[in-house]
A and B are shown apart, each in its own frame.
Chain A
Amino acid sequence: MAIELDATDIEQAVRSLVTVEQTNFGVEVSLPVVYGDGEMVTVVVERAGGELLVHDGGFSAMRLVAAGVALSKGVGARLDEFAHRYRCTFADGRVTALRASDDLPLTVCLVANAARAVGDYVYELRRQADFDFRGAVFDKLREIVGDRIRESEEFRGKSGRLWRVPIILDPARAHPLSFVAPLANRSGVPQGFAMLYDLGRAYPNVERDVVYDETSDLRDEDRALLSSAEARVFGLMETQVRFREIAGVA
Chain B
Amino acid sequence: MQSFDEVVAEFLSRPKLMLHQPKWQQKAHPDFAAAGAKVVVSGSNAIVGRLVMTAHVLRVPRKYGFALIFRGKRVFALDVNPGRSHRNLLTKGAVSETHWQCWPAMEAEADGRDLMFAGWLNCFLLRARISGRFPIKPPPHRGQGVQLRLFNGD
Report the minimal beta-carbon distance from A221 to chain B, rounded to whole angstroms.
Answer: 15
Let me know if A40 and B150 touch, CB within 8 A: no
Q: Does A61 contact B (CB under 8 A)?
A: yes
Let me know if B46 and A136 touch, CB within 8 A: yes
* B52 / chain A contacts, CB cutoff of 8 Å: 65-68
Report the minimal beta-carbon distance from A111 to chain B, rounded to whole angstroms.
Answer: 14
Let me know if A67 and B74 touch, CB within 8 A: yes
- A93 with B87, Cβ < 8 A, contacts A58-B56, A132-B48, A136-B46 known: no
Let me know if B54 and A66 touch, CB within 8 A: yes
Q: How far is the CA of A61 from the CA of B134 in the complex (A)?
A: 27
Q: Does B85 contact A (CB under 8 A)?
A: yes
Give how many A-B residue pairs fall within 8 Å (CB-CB).
143
- A61 with B32, Cβ < 8 A, contacts A24-B147, A37-B106, A50-B154 known: yes
Let me know if A25 and B28 touch, CB within 8 A: no
Q: Does B23 contact A (CB under 8 A)?
A: no
Chain B contact residue count (CB 8 A cutoff): 46
Q: Does A165 contact B (CB under 8 A)?
A: no
Let me know if A215 and B29 touch, CB within 8 A: no
- A68 with B87, Cβ < 8 A, contacts A139-B45, A139-B48 known: no
- B30 contacts which of A30, A93, A213 (Cβ < 8 Å)? A93
A104-134 to B contact mask, C-beta < 8 Å, 1/0 = 0000000000000000000001101100110
Q: Does A143 contact B (CB under 8 A)?
A: yes
Q: How far is the CA of A23 from the CA of B89 in the complex (A)?
A: 28
Which residue, B45, B108, B150, has most C-beta atoms of chain A within 10 A? B150
B62-102 to A contact mask, C-beta < 8 Å, 1/0 = 01010101011110010000111111110000000000000
- Interface of A toward B, CB cutoff 8 Å: 19, 23-26, 28, 30, 34, 37-42, 46-50, 57-59, 61-62, 65-68, 71-72, 76, 92-94, 125-126, 128-129, 132-133, 135-136, 139-140, 143, 213-215, 236-237, 239-240
11 contacts between A and B (CB under 8 A): A24-B150, A25-B59, A30-B84, A40-B84, A40-B85, A42-B84, A57-B56, A62-B32, A66-B52, A93-B29, A139-B46
